[in-house]
Structure 1
C-alpha cells in the first residue's frame, strides 16, 4: 500500500473546528444525544442501551437487529428485498469505504471516481496501486457529470465505478435516469459500482414521487452494486461511529469480511445498540422527519443569504444533503477562499471549509454546512453578512 497524501478537508477541520463558535463547515445534521434519541421513539418503554448485556465481541458481522433494520430500509423501494446477511457493519462509513477498496482493488485495476467528492474515495484506491480517473461534474452543468464522458473513461481493466450520491461537497444528486444509464454501462462491461450514500435519505427539495428521484444504487436491479452508509450525517449520530457495507452480491460481503478480520474484527456492541435503536421502525421515521424538516428550513435561510449577496456569491441550490458549494467572487474573479475562511474564522468565529480542500480547481469556492441548529445557522450567517459588508473588498483574490 502506497503512502496516502494529506487529507485536506480533515486536516482543515482538525485544525480549525474547535476554535469555531459557529461551525458552518460541519456536514452532519445537527447532532443529538442518547436522551434526545429516546424521546423520538414511539415506544416509551424501549431503552437505547441494554446495560445488562455482556460486552464481548458480539456478532462479528454486525448485530442481527441492526442489520435487520438496515435491510428493511434498503428493501423499501427495491424490487427484490436485501437480506440482512448482505450487510456488514463497520466503524463509520470511512472504514466501510476503505474496506471495500482494500478488498476489491489492487495493482493493475482501473477505478473511475465521481468528482468532486470526499478525498478518500479516490486517494485510497490509488494508494492500493489502482489507476484512478476522475469523472468530473462541473458547476456550469449544475454539478451533473456527463454520461458520455464516463463512457470515454471506461477501459478493459476498469474494476470499479465510485459514486457519491447525494454528493459531498456539492449536495447535487445523480438523478434516477442518469443512475440507470450508469448501471447499464456497468452491466455492459461487468463493472462493480460502489456508491457512498452517507447523505441519503436527506432529500429536502425533491419529492420521492418525482420521476427523477434518486434511488439507492441497490434498488436499480444490478447484482454488482455496493452501498456504504453511516449514522453520522443523515442520522445525527457521528459519535457512535457506526457505518456499513451493503451489497447485492454476497461474495462481495464475504471478501470484505475476510479483510476485516485483519482490522477491527467487529463493531462496539454499545454503538450498535444505539444505531439499532435509531433505525428501529419506532424511531427512524421521527428522526428522519426531524432532520429533513431542519434541512428544509435551513436551506431557505441559506438561499435568502445567497440571493441577498448575489453580487458576491453564487451557487447551484442543493436538492439534498447537508452542504452547499458556494463560489465567492469580486469583479468576476474568485477570491482567495483559504484566506477568506481563515480571516472569517478569526474575526467572527464562523467556520467554512475552502473549496481547495476538494481540489485546486475549486479556488473561490467554500463548502457551507447548512444543517446545524437553525439558531447556529442564522447567527453564523448574520456574522458573515456583517463581515462581508466591512471586509469583502479587502479580501485577496485567487492567484
Structure 2
C-alpha cells in the first residue's frame, strides 16, 4: 500500500515545537485539566481517577460517553456511537471498512488529506470536487452531479472545511444527499469544526441521511486534542460493520481519556460558551488585522477555528513560512500542505495574546519581504 505524505501533519510534526507564536493550529485554545475542572466545578475528578483501575475500560466507549454523544444528534441510538482515536481514527475506520479497490470516491478538495488519500491508497478511483477561492471556497452542486457515477461508493466532505473554514449549510447538504441517494452512495462528513456563527444553519449528515456517516472528536470545537477521543455516529447496520474493522485498528481510548471526554460532554454548554467567546473575539481581531494589512486577503470563515489566508510574497508560501518561522518564531501551515500554493492556514483561535503578537509580527514580515 502506497500513500502520499500527510502534508499538514508532516509540516506540524517537524515544526510545531519550534514555534514561539503558533498560529498554525485549528484547535480552539486548548484546556488545561485545571481549567477544565474549574470551569465544570468537577472537584471530584482527580479523586475519581485515583480510584480508577487502569484496565482497558469500556472498549467502544462508556455508556455515559455514548449517551452524551448521541445527544448531539436528532436520532442516533447510543449503541450506534463508536469511540475512536480522534476524528482521524473515525475517518480511517469508515474508509477502511467500506472502500475497496476499484470503488469510485468523490472528495471535496482542498480538504483534510485523509478523505482522499486513504481511499486512493486502498485502490479507489478518486474524483476531486473542487473548492475555488473566486466562489468563496463554496462547492458547486452541479459539479458534484457531473462527477457522480452509477458506481460511486462514497462522497467525502469535511464540514466546516479544513483549511478554508467554509460551512455547507443544511439546505446545501440536503442537495448533496439527493445526489448520493441517486446512486445509493455513502456520505462521510468530518464534522470536527462546529460553527459559532448563529446565522449558519448547520446539520450533521447522520441527521439528514441514513447512509450518512458523521465523524467528530473533542479536539477542535471542544479544545481537548490531548485525550485523543473521537467517534463515528451512524445507522445500526454501519455501526455493526464498523465494529469488526474497529477491532483491528484500536482496542479502546483508555479509561482516563473516556473519563475526561465524559466530563467535557456533560458540561458541553459551559465548554461551548467559553469557546464561542474565544472564536468570536479572536475572529474580530483577525478580521481587523486583514483589513489593515497589505499583501493579505481572506475569505473569512463562518465562526470556526480555521482560516486560509492568501499572501503576496516573492517566494513560495512554503519557503515564506519556513523563513518566517526561523526568523520570527511565527508558525503557519503553508498552502502547499493542501496543494494550494500562495496561501497559508492561520489558526486564529490561539490564546489572544499569542494571536495579537503573532499577527503583528506576520504583518511586519510580509511588508519587509
Mark yes or no: TM-score above 0.5: yes
Which 4+ residue blocks in structure 1 deviate beyond 6 angstroms? Answer: none
- For structure 2, the residue ranges without an aligned partner over 5 or more in a row are none
Q: In the alignment, what sits opposite 2:241?
A: 255
Paired position in structure 2 for 1:69: 68
Shift of 1:335: 4.8
In structure 2, the partner of 1:89 is 83
Give the aligned partner of residue 348 of structure 2.
370
Task: Confirm or deny: 8 A CA contact 1:344 1:387 kept in the other structure.
Answer: yes
What is aligned with 2:13?
A: 14
- 2:132 aligned with 1:138: yes
Give a deviation string over 1:346-369, Cα, whole Å, max 9, x none.
11110011101001xx11101101
Q: Distance in 2 between matches of 1:113 and 1:320?
A: 23
Residue 221 (structure 2) pairs with residue 237 (structure 1): no
Q: Which residue of 1 aligns with 2:259?
A: 273
Query: Residue 300 of structure 2 corresponds to which residue in structure 1?
Result: 317
The Cα of 1:60 is off from its aligned counterpart by 1.9
Task: Give the corresponding residue for 2:110.
Answer: 116
Query: For 1:30-109, what aligned pairs fall within 5 Å after superposition?
Result: 30-42=29-41, 44-45=43-44, 49-74=48-73, 78=74, 81-109=75-103
Query: Normalized against structure 1, the TM-score is what?
Result: 0.89
DSSP-derived class of the 1:227 partner: strand
More helix by share: 2
In the alignment, the residues of structure 2 paired with residue 49 and residue 5 of structure 1 have an alpha-carbon distance, to the nearest angstrom, of: 43
Where in structure 2 are the equivalents of 1:85-234 lying within 5 Å? 85-199=79-193, 201=194, 203-204=195-196, 206-207=197-198, 210=199, 212-220=200-208, 222-234=209-221
Deviation at 1:49, TM superposition (A): 4.9
Equivalence for 1:337:
317
Within the alignment, does 1:305 sit opposite 2:289 as a pair?
yes
Contact 2:151 2:183 in 1 (8 A): no
Helix, strand or coil at the partner of 1:262: helix
Give the TM-score taking structure 2 as reference length: 0.96
Cα deviation for residue 48 of structure 1 reads 8.4
Q: Secondary structure at the match of 1:326?
A: strand
* Structure 1 residue 44, shift from structure 2 partner: 4.9
User: Any unmatched runs of 5+ in structure 1?
Assistant: 393-399
Q: Give, in whole Å, the separation in 2 of the partners of 1:347 and 1:263.
A: 41
Aligned length: 369
Counterpart contact for 1:179–1:214, Cα < 8 Å: no
Q: Is the 8 A contact 1:162 1:195 kept in 2?
A: yes
**Paired residue secondary structure (2:107):** strand
Task: Give the deviation of 1:50 after TM superposition.
Answer: 3.0
Cα distance in 2 between the residues matched to 1:43 and 1:99? 33
Residue 277 of structure 1 aligns to a residue whose secondary structure is helix
Q: Is the 8 A contact 2:308 2:343 kept in 1?
A: yes
Cα root mean square deviation, aligned? 1.5
Point out the more displaced range, 39-48 or 116-125: 39-48
1:128 positional shift:
0.7
For residues 273 and 254 of structure 1, the distance between their equivalents in structure 2, rounded to whole angstroms, comes to 24
Q: Secondary structure at 1:223's aligned position in 2?
A: coil
- Asked whether the 8 Å contact 2:93–2:249 carries over to 1, the reply is no
Contact 1:38 1:48 in 2 (8 A): no
